[in-house]
């Protein structure tokens, strides 16, 4: 699974380097955030609506609410911050977003906890020599309590060698050359992208327990313990 992640300050120029990203007029890029948890707001990158060229970065709630959901959000009891890639096209919740609303989730790294219950050690995981990267995501728009809300989920896959000792799942990390294909290709043509990222390109290190409290934030959370 991927239940917590972080992102450094990234200038618009870096996003432009990988994507034809349309900069929102008068809007700064997302601020650094070192403790992003489910049910919080985070940026997603998706194709512009109404078939306009290019891509846009928009805020969305992390925990996908399917478009068919009509009840108050407080009544949603099922977890949707992650979606298993293996059955995503058979899921009532995720099938529509997988076929029509794939997106990218920019991040600088994510967290995982390992060990026995009551004495788990948190780890930060990132890519080598990369300040940020993108995971595969799905987004949806639902009408909740009379207001439209955009939400997203992060796709997961089986672990590579780096992650295998920490958890049985890991987020699907997309290579930059596949960003456009992930968001634009027919869904039958993206299954090969939902595979574990090569272990040689990743590293993990133990960190302090402060990350366990979502109220804590700052770059000190990713310092090696």
What's the N-to-C CA distance of the chain in angstroms?
A: 23
pTM: 0.94
Determine the pLDDT at residue 213: 96
Q: State the SS3 of 164-185.
A: HCCCCCEECEECHHHHHHHHHC
Query: From CA 123, how far away is CA 133, in angstroms rounded?
Result: 18
pLDDT (tens, 9 = 90+) of the chain, 225 residues, equals 789 999 999 998 888 888 888 777 777 899 999 999 999 999 999 998 877 888 999 999 999 999 998 887 777 888 999 999 999 999 999 999 999 999 999 999 999 999 888 789 999 999 999 999 999 999 999 988 788 999 999 999 999 999 999 999 999 999 999 999 999 999 999 999 999 999 999 999 999 999 999 999 999 999 999
The residue ranges of every structural domain in the chain are 5-222
Determine the pLDDT at residue 27: 79
Query: From CA 77, how far away is CA 74, in angstroms rounded?
Result: 8
Q: For domain 5-222, say whether CATH 2.102.10.10 is its number.
A: no
């Amino acid at each position: 699974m991927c239940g917590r992640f972080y992102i450094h300050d990234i200038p618009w120029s870096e996003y432009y380097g990988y994507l034809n990203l349309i900069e929102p007029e008068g809007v700064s890029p997302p601020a650094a955030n070192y403790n992003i948890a489910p049910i919080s707001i985070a940026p997603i990158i998706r194709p512009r609506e109404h078939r306009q060229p290019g891509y846009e970065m928009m805020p969305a709630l992390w925990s996908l609410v399917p478009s068919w959901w009509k009840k108050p959000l407080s009544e949603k009891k099922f977890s949707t911050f992650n979606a298993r890639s293996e059955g995503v096209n058979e899921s009532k919740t995720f099938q529509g977003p997988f076929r029509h609303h794939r997106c990218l989730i920019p991040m600088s790294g994510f967290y995982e906890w390992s060990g026995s219950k009551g004495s788990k050690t948190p780890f930060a995981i990132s890519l080598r020599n990369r300040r940020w990267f993108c995971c595969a995501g799905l987004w949806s728009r639902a009408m909740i309590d009379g207001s439209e809300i955009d939400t997203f989920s992060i796709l997961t896959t089986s672990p590579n060698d780096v992650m295998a000792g920490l958890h049985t799942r890991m987020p699907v990390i997309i290579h930059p050359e596949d960003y456009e294909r992930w968001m634009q290709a027919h869904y039958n043509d993206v299954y090969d992208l939902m595979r574990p990222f090569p272990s040689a390109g990743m590293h993990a290190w133990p960190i302090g327990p402060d990350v366990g409290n979502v109220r804590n934030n700052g770059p000190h959370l990713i310092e090696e313990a």
